Amino acid sequence: MALWMFLAVFVVLLSGYPVAFVLSGTALMFAALGLQLDAFDADFLMALPNRLFGIMNNETLIAVPLFVFMGVMLERAKIAESLLEAMSELFASVPGGLGIAVTIVGMLMAASTGIVGATVVTMGLLSLPTMLKRNYDPAISCGIICASGTLGQIIPPSIVLVLLGDVISSAYQQAQLEMGVFAPETISVGDLFAGAILPGLLLVILYLIYISVTAWLSPDKMPKPDITERQQTGFYWRVAKSLLPPLMLMLAVLGSIIGGLATPTEAASVGAVGALLLAIISKQLSKDTLQEVMRDTTRITSMVFMILIGAALFSLVFRGFEGDELIIELLSELPGGKVGAMFSVMLVMFLLGFVLDFIEITFVIVPIVGPVLLTMGVDPVWLGIMIALNLQTSFLTPPFGFALFYLRGVAPDEVTTGQIYKGVMPFIIIQLLLLGVLAYFPEIATWLPSYIYA
């Protein structure tokens, strides 16, 4: 019954019905069927109020609306627009300079907002017309925008890492209790933020190397602009004025968490207030803008929490049909032990990333497989970073990658879907390469958290 319920969810999801109601509705239908067949204990449904109360009292999740507000406000304040103009001028004399500028701006926007869809759409609207105007190859242009836009998955402060931190923390405690450890250790969102810094920077460096090498080998695909385009008057002041505000905001948020000065929730409030101040300073804040930001924040936050509630109900019914024991049995019998189980879970998550958003995967899949992998001895921080990087890769992969859909929606008509698919392929290879390196050297993710919180 557990497997049939899983299959039913994916079938209904393909109809386009809202995910939160698919999860909860399917769970209730199978619970009713199980009660009729005397194959389900109704006491599992009685645990739902406690689950909901736990969600309401979870201080970590308060960071979600605050980070969403920060991201939406920065988007509306046109911080990315001025930043892209300044960085384009700064790298004008470098081969592939515009591509490098787009990647760096994408990284800073990812670190400032953590919202993949907003970053891809913003970068697509701002930079793609400019890149095409400067005779950049459309495929390479689309690949750079999609890849830099999805950096919000792995570079903190990422909403993905906030949600993963909460779920993996619960799974880690559950795994320790099952192993007989009744004073369990915990991990925090701060641990995942610290663990993601080195892999995130390494990924950006690999992107920049690829862009530079491509521009050097094929200058016709990324031609240099005429250096006289740079307007020298007040140039460095414009760069500093555009670069420093988002950089200071990023350092304030991350520094307060990693330095132990604030919890992720408190740091998120620092980010939200900082974004509001940047909007005021840039004179982009009006009553209408504030209303739009609040409306978007409410809509996105409501979607996240409705999915979380639906996933909680789905998880309870799944456990009622002994689905968790089935997963444990399946993973334990796989060849290769811990390595085989980890590879299988990563492969399944990669494929699920085609049809599910990271929120559904985080709330539905991770609570089921997380305790099993952690019981096998997998490091929780490394597991969280591997999942985030894996989902980022699946969001880039044709034909269903979410980032591709976001860019397709704002790309000019002359840019074909085939060009978008072709452009992201080298970046997918780079991310798979980094996943392999991270799998072989887990210390890339675990060293910094152990050093900071030693």
Comparing 69 with 114, which gets the higher pLDDT? Answer: 69
Helix or strand holding residue 13 (H, E): helix 2-13
Using alpha carbons only, give the angle 63, 68, 70 rounded to the nearest 5 degrees.
95
Question: What is the C-alpha to C-alpha distance for residues 39 and 55, in angstroms, rounded to an integer?
Answer: 28
pLDDT digits (tens, 9 = 90+) for 230-281: 555 667 777 788 788 878 887 888 788 777 788 878 888 988 898 899 889 8
pTM of this structure: 0.78
Cβ atoms of residues 95 and 212 within 8 Å:
yes
CA–CA distance, 375 with 360 (Å, rounded to integer): 23
Q: Where does residue 92 rank: exposed (0-12), middle (13-18), buried (19+ CB within 10 A)? A: middle
Contacts of 25 (CB under 8 A, 6+ apart): 12
List, in sequence order, the alpha helices (H) in 218-286.
Answer: 235-258, 264-281
Q: Which of 71-75, 143-147, 324-328 has the highest mean pLDDT?
A: 143-147
pLDDT at position 294 over 80: yes
Q: How confident is the model over 339-396, as pLDDT tens digits?
A: 888 888 888 888 777 766 677 788 878 888 888 889 888 899 999 999 999 988 888 8
Cβ pair 360, 367 in contact under 8 A: no
Residue 106 has pLDDT above 90, yes or no: no
- Tell whether the model's pLDDT for residue 439 goes beyond 90: yes
Give the separation between CA 191 and CA 241, rounded to whole angstroms.
32
With vertex at residue 376, the alpha carbon angle to CA 437 and CA 363, rounded to the nearest 5 degrees, is 80
Query: What is the rounded average pLDDT of the residues 107-128?
Result: 73
Q: Which residues contact 387 (CB under 8 A, 6 or more apart)?
A: 164, 346, 349, 362, 366
Average pLDDT, the chain: 83
Which phi and psi angles does 92 have, rounded to 5°?
Answer: -60, -35
298 or 360, which is more confident:
298
**CA distances (Å), 4 to each of 1, 27, 93, 182, 221, in order?**
5, 11, 59, 35, 50
Rg, Å, the chain Cα set: 22
The DSSP code sequence of 125-163 is HHHHHHHHHTT--HHHHHHHHHHHHGGGGTSSS-HHHHH
Residue 331 has pLDDT above 80, yes or no: no
